[in-house]
Structure 1
């Protein structure tokens, strides 16, 4: 028998997680402590507000961890990316003709909600999108690369899901 899906619509971000973990999160929500718990662990904001600052931030991480990866042509915040469609960031590749050569144009878009999100969550999503420069699919190698660039990647991904839940609960 498969575990039941989370009962609250906001808990859709935890689909696939063990029921015991979902119950813990439901307990924190019921006690009104989920947002406080996240703020304690990830409250520090970042200064990466502009598209240029975001490009520089991505380039810095890329140079530190992925020196031989293909260059990035553009990195920017995108207000059109919607969390509801599960797009917090995207990595796109598009061919472009330059003289007689065909080159690949690489672009990263980060959802605008990360302008105001805690610094750890911005780093997690940037690491995720940078990993796509080397690994296109969400494979074991992809997640190993994410862990290499950010050792706390798995925990940050989970905490980001909790952060999205707090944002949804704040709307209601």
Structure 2
């Protein structure tokens, strides 16, 4: 009589914390139809949960950015961007993303979720590359990285400031290219 063998345990999705010190959300938008202004928001926070054997099926993202950290390397412009002309950070200090589902395969996939910015929530799709192979840092922590990108129309989020130039064209373009770099640290499993 054969002895019953226990079934191997299924891998549980691991939770990874966004390392705010090594992650950022960058953006680029047309300025006066002649150049792109680039900037970033510092210190995204939140968690990403997934089972490496089932990406994107188990992927869950819950992330947040402090809108007050906007930085375009121009103090006057940054002050305007924080004001009620644009982000109105006193009323809307956080930008959040919460995933709803993902499709594709590990390496390259799409994540659909709700982006809330300036008090408006819209569904967006992020093109994601990653996660990178897991490494151990010098302190023994497991780390992976990923990048995500999308293009948004700022008007969809109530960012409506517009001024037409004398020769035509707008001072600020409507399409904003977003690029997010994430470094993630695996969190201890909950007991």
Establish whether TM, by shorter chain, passes 0.5.
no
Which has the larger share of strand? 2
For the aligned pair, the TM-score class normalised by the smaller chain equals under 0.3
State the TM-score, normalizing by the size of structure 1: 0.25
Give the structure with the larger helix fraction: 1
Which structure has the larger Rg? 2
| TM-score normalized with structure 2 length | 0.23
